[in-house]
């Protein structure tokens, strides 16, 4: 268990450092990236494109591994359905990202860089998480494929 926590700590620190160094934790830079028809700042496009190569390597390695290094099995999502809850969540995520210039990872990193504005975002994010837990789940409608396979 200590090994897993150490790996998580190192991975989180590396992720936070990458966010800070790349500018992804700077709300102004994120807003500039999202402003396609104004003063567009393309630097985050290069950051995202730069993430594709190591991720492609990781997926190739994953296919050859029996188990991850710090867990007994891989924990990958199996559901591939696009339901209203997923689409609604993605829309809310995008709206929040556009308004605040932050998403959850950079917001946590910004608690160390710019604590007051980041704390407001993190508090709202935690409120949304709590609200999600408290509201009853809306059952997903069966997909067309499921309707025809009955």
Among 4-18, 105-119, 127-141, where is mean pLDDT lowest?
127-141
Q: Is the pLDDT of residue 143 over 60?
A: no
Structure confidence at residue 92 as a pLDDT band (50, 70, 90) = confident
Q: Are 93 and 103 in contact (CB under 8 A)?
A: yes
Q: Cα 94 from chain centroid?
A: 11
Both tokens assigned to 1: 């268990």
- Report d(CA 47, CA 38) in Å as an integer: 20
pLDDT in tens, 29-49: 888 888 888 888 888 888 888
DSSP label at residue 80: -
Q: Are 113 and 107 in contact (CB under 8 A)?
A: no
Amino acid 25: pLDDT: 80
Helical segments of 23-83, H only? 27-34, 43-64
Closest CA to 106 of 6, 36, 28, 38: 28
pLDDT in tens, 45-81: 888 888 888 889 988 888 888 888 778 888 888 888 8
């Amino acid at each position: 268990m200590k090994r897993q926590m150490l790996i998580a700590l190192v991975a989180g620190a590396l992720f936070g450092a990458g966010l800070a160094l790349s500018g992804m934790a700077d709300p102004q830079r994120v807003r500039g990236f999202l402003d396609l028809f104004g003063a567009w700042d393309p630097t985050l496009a290069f950051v995202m494109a730069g993430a594709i190569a190591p991720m492609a390597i990781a997926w190739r390695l994953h296919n050859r591994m029996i188990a991850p290094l710090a867990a007994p099995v891989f924990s990958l999502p199996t559901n591939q359905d696009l339901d209203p809850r997923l689409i609604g969540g993605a829309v809310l995520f995008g709206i929040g990202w556009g308004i605040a210039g932050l998403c959850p990872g950079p917001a946590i990193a910004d608690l160390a860089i710019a604590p007051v504005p980041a704390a407001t975002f993190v508090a709202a994010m935690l409120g949304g998480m709590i609200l999600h837990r408290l509201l009853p789940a809306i059952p997903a409608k069966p997909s067309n494929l499921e309707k025809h396979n009955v």
